């Protein structure tokens, strides 16, 4: 489990393509002593398992293996050396729940329609895939590339979110441009509510 509060930005240092998967080497400011092999880290919202880790000046580098399905259905398949990703360590019992409950299971890829400054903040307009449109509601929560955000508006084109200056500065959202793809995970409560409604209709 995660909260959608990014704790570091990582940089892709290597991409190794293997049959059925890819091995990504990610460098970050994380303390290597605090990351065990087998640990779960969200990468742009995708929960991945650390399979190797080494110390680097000022932090560490870790390797994750990404399965073919995740490569095809998320932005993980588009990552190249030099790209930056939002990182979040898994939630531990007793940690503060600063955002909302995020599972690290991507529901689909959204497309950025527009990016514009709004006062001191920034507004993103995103078109979600049709299969999750019904899970997105005004004032509800959504994870965009692993970042917990509040939905400010919903219309026929998609949904809008407002990014505060701090979030803009410490995540990869500031690099987004119109046409870019983003990983979307709908609020877990919305998923279960939708499933309940569907079950009642089919009863």
166 is catalytic: no
Q: Which of 7, 49, 114, 174 is catalytic?
A: 49
Q: Which of 54, 55, 67, 169 is catalytic?
A: 67
Q: Which of 22, 42, 47, 143 is catalytic?
A: 47
Contacts of 128 (CB under 8 A, 6+ apart): 108, 110, 136, 158, 159, 184
When pLDDT is averaged across residues 39-63 and rounded to a whole number, the result is: 96
49 is catalytic: yes
- Residue 49's pLDDT is 97
pLDDT exceeds 70 at position 196: no
- Residue 19's pLDDT is 93
When pLDDT is averaged across residues 16-36 and rounded to a whole number, the result is: 95
Each residue's pLDDT tens digit, 103-155? 899 999 999 999 999 999 999 999 999 999 989 999 999 999 999 999 999 99
40 is catalytic: yes
- Residue 26's pLDDT is 98
Each residue's pLDDT tens digit, 84-108? 999 999 977 666 666 688 889 999 9
The H-or-E segment that residue 55 falls in is: strand 46-56
Q: First-to-last CA distance in the chain? A: 32
Q: Which of 134, 150, 169, 178 is catalytic?
A: 150
Q: Which of 8, 39, 40, 194 is catalytic?
A: 40
- Mean pLDDT taken over the chain: 92
pTM (2 d.p.): 0.91
Domains of the chain: 8-89 (2.40.30.20), 108-202 (2.40.30.20)
Q: Which of 2, 25, 145, 172 is catalytic?
A: 2
Split at pLDDT 50, 70, 90, the class of 1 is confident
167 is catalytic: no
């Amino acid at each position: 489990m995660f909260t959608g509060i990014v704790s570091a930005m990582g940089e892709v240092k290597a991409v190794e393509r293997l049959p059925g998967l890819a091995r990504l080497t990610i460098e970050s400011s994380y303390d290597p002593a605090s990351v065990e092999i087998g640990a779960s880290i969200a990468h742009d919202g995708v929960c991945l398992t650390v399979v190797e880790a080494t110390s680097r000046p000022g932090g560490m580098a870790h390797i994750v293996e990404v399965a073919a399905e995740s490569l095809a259905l998320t932005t993980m398949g588009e990552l190249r050396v030099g790209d930056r990703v939002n990182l979040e360590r898994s939630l531990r019992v007793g940690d503060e729940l600063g955002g909302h409950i995020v599972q690290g299971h991507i529901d689909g890829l959204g497309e950025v329609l527009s990016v514009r400054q709004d006062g001191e903040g920034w507004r993103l307009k995103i078109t979600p895939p049709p299969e999750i449109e019904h899970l997105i509601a005004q004032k509800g929560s959504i994870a965009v590339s692993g970042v917990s955000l509040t939905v400010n508006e919903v219309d026929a084109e998609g949904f809008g979110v407002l990014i505060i200056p701090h979030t803009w500065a410490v995540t990869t959202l500031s690099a987004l441009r119109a046409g870019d793809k983003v990983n979307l995970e709908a609020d877990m409560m919305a998923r279960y509510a939708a499933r309940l409604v569907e079950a009642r209709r089919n009863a």
